Structure 1
Amino acid sequence: MIKKFYSIAILAWVLSLPFLAKVQAQEALSYQTPPKAIADLVNAAPTPLVSFSRSGDFMLVLERSGNPSIEELAQPELRIGGIRINPATNGPSRTGSFENVILKNTRNGQEQQVKGLPANARLGSFSLSRDEKYVALTNTSNTGISLWVVDLSTLEARKLTDEIVNAVYGTGITWTPDNQILFTAINPNRGGLPKAPLAPKGPTVQETSGNAAPSRTYQDLLTNPYDEALLEYFMDSQLMLVNLQGNKKPIGKPGMIKSMDLSPNGQYITVELIQKPFSYLVPASRFPYDVEIWDINGKHVKTLAQIPLDEVRPTGFDATVTGPRSISWRADKPATLFWVEAQDGGDPRVKMDEREIIYTLDAPFSAQPSKLAGIGYRFRGIYWSDDNFALLNEGWFASRQQKVTRINPSKPSEKGTVIIERSSDDIYNDPGSPVFTTNSFGRSVLLRKGDDVFMTSEGGSPEGSMPYLSAFNTKTKTEKILWRSQAPYYERVAKVLNADATEFVTIKESTDIQPNYWLVNTRKRIAPIQITQFAHPYESIKGIKKELVKYKRNDGLDLSAIVYTPEGYDPAKDGRLPVLMWAYPREYKSAAVAAQVRGSKYTFTRLNWGSPIYWVTQGYAIMDQTEMPIVGEGDEEPNDTFVVQLVANAEAAIDYIVDAGIGDRNRIAVGGHSYGAFMTANLLSHSNLFAAGIARSGAYNRTLTPFGFQYEQRTYWEAPEVYNTMSPFMNAHKVKTPILLIHGEADNNSGTFPIQSERYYNALKGHGATTRLVFLPHESHGYAAKESILHTLWEQHVWLEKYVKNRN
Structure 2
Amino acid sequence: MNFTRKTNRNYLKAGLFIAFLAGSPMTYAQEAIKYQLPPQSIVNLVDAPQIPMEEFSPDGRYMLVLEVPGFQTIIQASQPVLGVAGLRINPISNTTVAENLGTFKGLKIRDLSNGSEFSIQGLPQDLQISDVKWSSKPGVFAFLNKSLEDTELWLADLNNKTAKKLLSKVNDTYGSTFQWNGDGTALLAQQVNSSRGNVPVQNPVPTGPVVQENLGGITPSRTYQNLLANGYDETLMEYYLTSDLIQVDLQGNAKPIGIKGIFKSVSYSPDGKYILTEKVVKPYSYLVPIYLFPAEVAVYSSTGSKVKDIYTIPLADKMPISFDAVLEGPRNFEWRKDKDASLVYVQAFDKGDPNVKTEVRDEVFELGAPYDLSSSNKIFSGTYRVRDIQWGDGLAIVSENWRKDRSTKMTLINPKTNQVVKVLSTRKSEDTYTDPGSFVKNEKGQLLTDGKGSVFTQGLGASPEGDRPFLMKWNVQNGKQDTLYKSKRGYYEEPIFFNNTGVLYVSRESAKDAPNVYSVNIKNKKESKITNFSDPYPSIANVQKTLLSYPRKDGLNLSGTLYVPADFKKGDAPLPVLVWAYPREFKTKEAAGQVKGSPNRFPRLAFRSPVYWVTQGYAVVDQADMPIVGEGTSEPNDTFVEQIKDNASALIDHIVGLGVADRNRIGVGGHSYGAFMTANLLAHTDLFAAGIARSGAYNRTLTPFGFQGEARTYWQAKDTYDAMSPFTYAPQIKRPLLMTHGMDDENSGTFPIQSERLYAAIKGHGGIVRLVMLPKEFHGYRSREGVLHTFWEQHQWLEKYVKNNKK
In which range does the TM-score fall when normalised by the shorter chain? over 0.9
Contact map agreement 2:26 2:766 (CA 8 A) in 1: no
Contact map agreement 2:17 2:774 (CA 8 A) in 1: no
- Which one of the candidate residues 131, 134, 152 is aligned to 1:128? 134
Contact map agreement 1:293 1:300 (CA 8 A) in 2: yes
CA distance in 1, matches of 2:648, 2:34: 35
**1:694 alignment partner, SS class:** strand
Letter in 1 for 2:799: E
Deviations 1:102-121 (A, max 9, x none): 11123543211112111222
Contact map agreement 1:434 1:447 (CA 8 A) in 2: no
| Structure 2 counterpart of 1:549 | 548
CA distance in 2, matches of 1:577, 1:52: 45
Which stretch of structure 1 is more off in the superposition, 759-768 or 116-125?
116-125
Letter in 1 for 2:606: N
- Which one of the candidate residues 453, 456, 473 is aligned to 1:454? 456
What is the CA distance between 1:11 and its match in structure 2? 3.9
| Structure 2 counterpart of 1:374 | 381
Is 2:475 aligned against 1:473? yes
Deviations 1:209-237 (A, max 9, x none): 11111110001001111111000100111
CA distance in 2, matches of 1:716, 1:467: 41
Deviations 1:514-572 (A, max 9, x none): 1111000031342x101111111101000000000111001111111100000121031
What is the CA distance between 1:467 and its match in structure 2? 1.5
| Structure 2 counterpart of 1:561 | 560
- Which one of the candidate residues 155, 169, 182 is aligned to 1:164? 169
RMSD of the TM alignment (CA)? 1.7
CA distance in 2, matches of 1:62, 1:457: 24
CA distance in 1, matches of 2:613, 2:175: 38
Contact map agreement 1:383 1:446 (CA 8 A) in 2: no
Contact map agreement 2:86 2:224 (CA 8 A) in 1: yes
Is 2:561 aligned against 1:529? no
Contact map agreement 2:176 2:266 (CA 8 A) in 1: no
| Structure 1 counterpart of 2:749 | 751
Is 2:24 aligned against 1:38? no
What is the CA distance between 1:70 and its match in structure 2? 0.7
| Structure 2 counterpart of 1:280 | 286
Deviations 1:703-744 (A, max 9, x none): 111111111111110110000000011111111110100111
Contact map agreement 1:252 1:300 (CA 8 A) in 2: no
- Which one of the candidate residues 336, 341, 351 is aligned to 1:330? 336
Contact map agreement 2:89 2:173 (CA 8 A) in 1: yes
CA distance in 2, matches of 1:281, 1:448: 49
Letter in 2 for 1:199: V
**1:800 alignment partner, SS class:** helix
Letter in 2 for 1:216: R
Deviations 1:31-88 (A, max 9, x none): 0010000000000011221111111211111113221111111122110100111111
| Structure 1 counterpart of 2:202 | 196
**1:428 alignment partner, SS class:** helix
Identity of aligned residues (%): 47
- Which one of the candidate residues 420, 442, 460 is aligned to 1:437? 442
What is the CA distance between 1:372 and its match in structure 2? 0.9
Contact map agreement 1:708 1:716 (CA 8 A) in 2: yes
| Structure 1 counterpart of 2:766 | 768
Contact map agreement 1:15 1:798 (CA 8 A) in 2: no
Contact map agreement 1:497 1:505 (CA 8 A) in 2: no
What is the CA distance between 1:141 and its match in structure 2? 2.2
Q: Following superposition of structure 1 onto structure 2, how do residues 57-136 of structure 1 map, counting pairs within 5 Å?
A: 57-94=61-98, 95-136=101-142
Which stretch of structure 1 is more off in the superposition, 94-103 or 305-314?
94-103
Contact map agreement 1:138 1:146 (CA 8 A) in 2: yes
Which stretch of structure 1 is more off in the superposition, 643-652 or 182-191?
182-191
CA distance in 2, matches of 1:13, 1:189: 48
Q: Following superposition of structure 1 onto structure 2, how do residues 158-237 of structure 1 map, counting pairs within 5 Å?
A: 158-161=164-167, 163-170=168-175, 172-176=177-181, 177-237=183-243
What is the CA distance between 1:21 and its match in structure 2? 11
CA distance in 1, matches of 2:380, 2:613: 54
| Structure 1 counterpart of 2:53 | 49
Deviations 1:622-677 (A, max 9, x none): 11110011111101111111111110000000000000000000000010001100
| Structure 1 counterpart of 2:277 | 271
Q: Following superposition of structure 1 onto structure 2, how do residues 290-439 of structure 1 map, counting pairs within 5 Å?
A: 290-366=296-372, 368-386=375-393, 388-412=394-418, 414-438=419-443
- 1:709/1:116 Cα in 2 relative to 1: closer, same or farther (>3 Å)? same
CA distance in 2, matches of 1:506, 1:45: 22
Contact map agreement 1:11 1:25 (CA 8 A) in 2: no
CA distance in 2, matches of 1:14, 1:755: 16
CA distance in 2, matches of 1:674, 1:448: 44
Which stretch of structure 1 is more off in the superposition, 174-183 or 612-621?
174-183
CA distance in 2, matches of 1:119, 1:15: 49
Deviations 1:260-293 (A, max 9, x none): 0111111111111111111110011111110110
TM-score, normalised via structure 1 length: 0.96
Contact map agreement 2:448 2:499 (CA 8 A) in 1: no
Letter in 2 for 1:385: G
Q: Following superposition of structure 1 onto structure 2, how do residues 459-608 of structure 1 map, counting pairs within 5 Å?
A: 459-499=461-501, 502-526=502-526, 528-572=527-571, 574-608=572-606
Deviations 1:320-343 (A, max 9, x none): 111221111111111111110112
CA distance in 2, matches of 1:134, 1:576: 58
Contact map agreement 1:125 1:173 (CA 8 A) in 2: no
What is the CA distance between 1:365 and its match in structure 2? 2.6
Contact map agreement 1:516 1:530 (CA 8 A) in 2: yes
What is the CA distance between 1:122 and its match in structure 2? 1.6
What is the CA distance between 1:304 and its match in structure 2? 1.5
CA distance in 2, matches of 1:31, 1:113: 38
What is the CA distance between 1:469 and its match in structure 2? 1.7
| Structure 1 counterpart of 2:160 | 154
**2:420 alignment partner, SS class:** coil
CA distance in 1, matches of 2:21, 2:744: 26
Contact map agreement 1:338 1:361 (CA 8 A) in 2: yes
What is the CA distance between 1:245 and its match in structure 2? 1.9
Deviations 1:139-158 (A, max 9, x none): 22222212211121121111
**1:226 alignment partner, SS class:** helix
CA distance in 2, matches of 1:86, 1:254: 21
Contact map agreement 2:441 2:447 (CA 8 A) in 1: yes
CA distance in 1, matches of 2:19, 2:797: 11
CA distance in 2, matches of 1:14, 1:223: 34
- 1:64/1:468 Cα in 2 relative to 1: closer, same or farther (>3 Å)? closer
Letter in 1 for 2:596: R
What is the CA distance between 1:461 and its match in structure 2? 1.1
Letter in 1 for 2:369: A
CA distance in 1, matches of 2:440, 2:500: 11
Letter in 2 for 1:240: I
Letter in 1 for 2:383: G
CA distance in 2, matches of 1:551, 1:449: 46
**1:28 alignment partner, SS class:** strand
Aligned length: 796
Deviations 1:376-397 (A, max 9, x none): 11111011103x3111000000
- 1:143/1:222 Cα in 2 relative to 1: closer, same or farther (>3 Å)? same
Relative contact order, CA 8 A, sep 6+: which one is greater? 2
